[in-house]
Amino acid sequence: MTLISADVPARLRPALLQLLAACSDDGRVRAAWLEGSFARGEADAWSDIDLHLIVEEPDTFGAVEWLGSLMPLVLADAIPGIARAFICLTPDWVHVDLNLHSLEDELRQGTMRQVLVDKDALVASEYAAGVSSAEPFFPGQQAQIFLYLMGSTVTALHRNDLLALSQTTVMMRDGLLIPLMLAENGIVIGTGAKRIARHLTREQQDCLARLPAIGLTETGLREAQRALAAEYLVRARQLADVCHAAWPAELERAAKRLWRHELEIDL
């Protein structure tokens, strides 16, 4: 892929060409590359531009000012928890995540990179994506968390806290059932991952589509939770068997007993 190829979304091409020219012309910028969807060749018109720069003296480089000199910005703020990283937006909602590195920094291993400029041969462009372990694995701690959350739903119902119940239900689906499906496929993805659907099989996507909607009524939430628990427990036990992993049988029995007694739900 090159920045002027047909593979680059037309909406983002002007911004990318501006960035490429600026990185090439600025002597302080020793290397520049893209990560994320552009590096994987999966970018679309609304993808973030995940731009990384190796610069001389990054602490005095003035990243926001540098980017603002190239394009107007309506947002430019530090990304919490990540040193020398900034989230930036243009008035046309072009999203640039700008990350600075020093000449001495060690770059992350297992990260795909699309190199734009490399004046000193500092960056290798061919890295494994690092998202797949190829073999299924059993997320044992997550299974325990799911069973624990089953008990938390009873507490929320007795307190008539439907908002807490809805949030727990969403967590059981998005934070636990979907990662379990990914584990079935040998996929490890961080919490901030996007485009998860491409890692799921058609059967898994159909399963998620059949689940009841998560609303804010007690009846709807209980039905959604029943369907989630039934799906999760069957899949998790099967995966534990495949992986020859220990299954928290006592915790499962206790959670099911609680639901049977308090919610009249028999799984």
pLDDT tens, residue by residue, 202-259: 999 999 999 999 988 999 999 999 999 999 999 999 999 999 999 999 999 999 999 9
The pLDDT score that the predictor gives to residue 1 is 43
| Higher local confidence (pLDDT), 81 or 66 | 66
Closest CA to 47 of 70, 78, 13, 5: 13
pLDDT in tens, 168-199: 999 999 999 999 999 999 987 654 556 677 78
Q: How confident is the model at residue 92 (pLDDT cuts 50, 70, 90)?
A: very high
Q: What letters, b where the CB count within 10 A reaches 16 and e where it falls short, cover 227-239?
A: ebbebbbebbeeb
Which DSSP letter does residue 249 get? Answer: H
The pLDDT score that the predictor gives to residue 203 is 94
Distance CA 217, CA 169 (A): 12
The whole-number average pLDDT for the span 27-40 is 91
The pLDDT score that the predictor gives to residue 239 is 96
pLDDT in tens, 39-68: 888 889 999 999 999 999 999 999 999 999
Residue 63 CB-density burial (10 A; 0-12 exposed, 13-18 middle, 19+ buried): buried
| C-alpha distance from residue 262 to each of 73, 107, 177, 254 (Å) | 54, 52, 23, 12
pLDDT in tens, 120-174: 988 876 443 334 446 899 999 999 999 999 999 999 999 999 999 999 999 999 9
Distance CA 162, CA 14 (A): 47
The pLDDT score that the predictor gives to residue 127 is 40
Q: Report the mean per-residue pLDDT for the chain.
A: 89
Enter the tokens of residue 18: 């501006």
